[in-house]
A and B are shown apart, each in its own frame.
Chain A
Amino acid sequence: MLLLWLAASVATWVPARWTAQDPQSLELLAGTPINCLLMEKVSPEFLAAASSRGLAVLLTLRPEADLEAVLHSAVHAGLSGLVLEGAFEQAQRERARRALPQTGLPLIELPPRAHLRLDRSGPILGSYQGLWPGIRVSEKGVARAAPTGSPWLETNTGFLRYLRAATDAPIWIANRPPAGPTSMERYLAAVADAAIIGARWVVALDPDFDGRLQRREAKALAAWKRIAEHLKFYEDHPEWRNWKPSGQLAIIIDGTSGALLANGIVDMIAVRHVPLRVVPRQRLSQQALQGARIIVSVDPAALDEAAKQLLRSFTRAGATLLSGPPGWKFPAPTVDQITLDEKGIESLGEIWREVNSVLGRRNLGARLFNVAGMLSHLLASPDGAQLVLHLANFTSYPVENITVHLPGSYTRARLLAPGEPPRELALQQIEEGVAIEIERVSSCAALLLDCKR
């Protein structure tokens, strides 16, 4: 009973790293949805002030911490829980896992991606490792792109899509910003990069921004307000976390075939704005593949006979199956690794060329135009009555004149965006279904569609 209550409570936590020790700093949280602070040190006065505001405070421990001492004192200190962040030794983790639940305090583990255990249910599934979302910038300060290609997007969404599909636990990604000053747009991208998948980014500010915010500088306060507005936008729609990815492309993948690493096949497809459903190998089922017209099996050798039989039934029904090269095996990621290395990308080349060629101009759930520098994610409500198409803009300027082509029939389309009133959008009938024109997306938006039943 206690564990159930605990899980329900933890699921509503909106986390942020907090460095200030001054209780007055908590005033900055007023009007924001942030209700859970991750701190590396904390005073009794601060804890009391936080508690009076209904805020949870978690003490963040690193592998070098004296775990035993903290475990003994945590409950009496008034903490709301502990966070193990980093590559703890197995024995340390087991010790903490055994000890903490007896105290009624949740233990949140943020290990390296390579140490993630999807089969072990904790109150939160997460990692401290992540890319800093945005457009990759070259040494000369300009967007990195192929001479005539798309800008290169740094994103954690491929990894998060996999976690979302592999577990029902709330997901946190606790990557930090770069050490130097970072633009507000990059913070908004970090919020959206996690939130569009139904995960939460553990808000963390660079030291410069943090310092200016604590000094209540006007520009920092304005940026903080904007970040909070974006957090609130997604927190105001908790139902979206229970909606399932929609689309007719399914990709069967797991941690041993690259799902834990960025820049892999899921990210490659996502950058093309093809709606896709990640199906972890362990969750492969008739239902998981329902409606799929294209199925990508990244590591066919890992499939058992039942899974192969299932795939055969789909291909017999008309679906296209694309498989990774026979005998090909992804190397297991190392503790420090979060992106595919050159060799990994090269190995994906063969399957990517095939996937790219089969995708062509097909509409597998949505086709988007003028969305370079953006990411999207299409979700369907459990009853099939609504779709939401998330749009996250990674550029530092508003994107104008986006067009979306959707198969099917709809009765209403609305554009929701942080800090803006909802906008009704016109539905134009086209051969593919409907076309919707979006005039402008500043940082992120959600296109909400009511389906014709």
Chain B
Amino acid sequence: MTRRELLALLGGGAYAAPGRSAPVAIVRARGYEQGLEAAVAGLFDQLGGLGRLVKGKTVTIKLNLTGSPASRFEGRPLGSTHYVHPRLVGAVVHAMGRAGARRVRLVESCWATGGPMEEFLLDCGWPVRALATAAPQVEFENTNARGKGRRYVRLKTPPGAWIYPAYDLNEAYEQTDVFVSLAKLKNHATCGVTLSLKNSFGITPASIYGDDAGLEEPNENPTTGRAAVFHFGKRGPSRSAPQEFDPQSSRDPGYRVPRIVAELVAARPVDLAVIDGIETVTGGEGPWIDGLRFVQPHLLIGGLNPVATDAVAMAVMGYDPQAVRGTPPFHRADNTLKLAEALGVGSADLRQIEVRGLSIEQARFPFPA
């Protein structure tokens, strides 16, 4: 254990609160057509209702749109495989509007572009006009660059962080009252699983953290991913942003990516986690991974704490949320949930989590070991 990890465990950020963690709900959803709105309403009801969370507030929903929209698995719609489904997004936005949200912002750092998110969504085949009217005030922001904002905001990581002291992000992540991670129930080639925590990896702008980020200043027209900076640490982010604590630390993606995810969630806390497990893929995060399989778990999982929500989701997938590196699904990486736990984000201990709606056993849908 490093000095930093020890500090994290001992420091004020360490999650040590006794008793029950935030509740997590599981509901059955037959598909993305009939009954979806009722399933979404049921999920939020299980969590105590949306009104108290979003009424009169600006709600920012981080979507999971991994990779290029041109990359499809077996020709299926993106939302049926590795993206969150647009109808689910519409249902969630509509529920937010009905619960009194003042403004709903859909955000994502869209793959390899700094262009308008609306155009990226059109490239995904999404009904942008319908989404824009699903609630009274719906906005779209591509956070892969500065976007419609005037500046980047700097969000600090807590004591105990391993890689970066702070992250420079699109200002949408600061200008919000409620931050929602709308994720997909999936495996991930590096991190084992990608759920509501890992979804936050995508809040970082490639303009600063991309392979073609400017050396000094952000590149507002990014055209690549973030592997060189984040996964392998081959180069640093633009010098305008905070640099790594220790450039000599491990360059192993299995060490770096889970820690970066945990830091991001600690820096930009998630107030509501929703995981789309209605239709998805097993075996990886997108079509570029060999061995993918299309599956239909017919599940929605939601919670007010992302670590607890991911812990329940992992259990539903047939994994131990407290598993250590080298065991499924963390074959090549450290456990993101435990790292987030170490930064005080939440608990991955199922004994501490109240599961509402379906039980884990009722919902169990085993993913590959």
Binding site for B on A (CB under 8 A): 140, 142-143, 145-151, 360-361, 369-370, 372-373, 395-397, 399-403
Contacts and interface: CB of A to CB of B under 8 A. Distances in A.
Interface string B48-74: 000000000000000000011111100
Given A140-B290, A149-B70, A401 B127 contact: yes
Contact of A145 (B71, B112, B123, B225): B71
B209 interface: no
Interface string B103-120: 000000001100100010
Nearest to B73: A142
B75 interface: yes
B90 to A, nearest CB: 13
A151 B75 contact: no
A373 B78 CA distance: 14
Nearest to B225: A148
B71 A148 contact: yes
Interface string B68-104: 1111100111000000000000000000000000000
A150 B119 contact: no
B68 A370 contact: no
A392 to B, nearest CB: 16
A361 B119 contact: yes
A151 B70 contact: yes
Interface centre among A149, A369, A373, A402 (most CB of B within 10 A): A369
Contacts of B225: 148
A373 B70 contact: yes
A147 B119 CA distance: 21
A402 B125 contact: yes
Interface of B: 67-72, 75-77, 111-112, 115, 119, 122-127, 221, 225, 286-288, 290
Contacts of A150: 68, 70-71
Contact of A372 (B72, B112, B288): B72
Given A143-B72, A370-B122, 4 more contacts: A142-B287, A147-B288, A149-B71, A372-B72
B286 A400 contact: no
A148 B111 contact: yes
Nearest to A360: B221
A53 B221 CA distance: 61
A150 B123 CA distance: 12
A59 B349 CA distance: 78
Main secondary structure of the interface of A (DSSP, over half): loop
Residue among A146, A361, A370, A399 having the largest count of chain B Cβ atoms under 10 Å: A370
A449 B287 CA distance: 36
24 contacts: A145-B70, A146-B288, A147-B288, A148-B68, A148-B112, A148-B225, A149-B70, A150-B71, A151-B72, A360-B221, A361-B115, A369-B122, A369-B123, A370-B122, A370-B124, A372-B72, A373-B70, A373-B72, A395-B75, A396-B75, A397-B75, A397-B76, A399-B125, A403-B122
B67 to A, nearest CB: 4
Given A370-B69, A372-B72, A396-B75, A148 B126 contact: no
Contacts of B122: 369-370, 403
Contact of B77 (A143, A147, A361, A400): A400
A148 B67 contact: yes
Contacts of B221: 360
Nearest to A402: B125
A36 to B, nearest CB: 35
Nearest to A150: B70
Nearest to A361: B115
Contact of A401 (B68, B72, B115, B125): B125
A393 B115 CA distance: 25
Question: Which of A147, A395, A402 has the largest number of chain B CB atoms within 10 A?
Answer: A147
A153 to B, nearest CB: 11
A441 B119 CA distance: 20
Contact of B123 (A148, A370, A396): A370
B288 A148 contact: yes
A402 B111 CA distance: 19
B74 to A, nearest CB: 8
Contacts of A397: 75-76
Nearest to A396: B75
A373 B67 CA distance: 16
A63 to B, nearest CB: 42
A146 B125 CA distance: 20
A344 B224 CA distance: 24
Contacts of B72: 143, 151, 372-373, 395
A217 to B, nearest CB: 26
A152 to B, nearest CB: 11
Nearest to B127: A401
A151 B69 CA distance: 11
Contacts of A151: 70-72
B69 A372 contact: yes
B75 A145 contact: no
A356 to B, nearest CB: 9
A140 B291 CA distance: 10
A382 B68 CA distance: 38
B125 A149 contact: no
B316 to A, nearest CB: 28
B288 A401 contact: no
Contacts of A373: 70, 72
Contacts of B70: 145, 149-151, 372-373
Contacts of A148: 67-68, 71, 111-112, 225, 286, 288
A318 B40 CA distance: 54
A194 to B, nearest CB: 23
Given A148-B288, A151-B70, A369-B119, A401 B75 contact: no
Contacts of A370: 69, 122-125
A361 B75 CA distance: 26
A151 B68 CA distance: 10
Contacts of B287: 142, 145
Contacts of B111: 148
Contact of B125 (A145, A360, A400): A400
A149 B125 CA distance: 16
A397 B124 CA distance: 15
A149 B68 contact: yes
Contacts of B119: 361, 369
Contacts of B69: 370, 372
A147 B82 CA distance: 14
Contacts of A142: 287
A148 B70 CA distance: 8
Contacts of A400: 77, 125
A429 to B, nearest CB: 13
Nearest 8 CB-CB pairings of A with B:
A372-B70, A397-B75, A369-B122, A401-B125, A150-B70, A147-B288, A370-B125, A148-B67
Nearest to A397: B75
Contacts of A361: 115, 119
Contacts of A401: 125-127
Contacts of B75: 395-397
Nearest to B86: A401
Contacts of A372: 68-72, 123
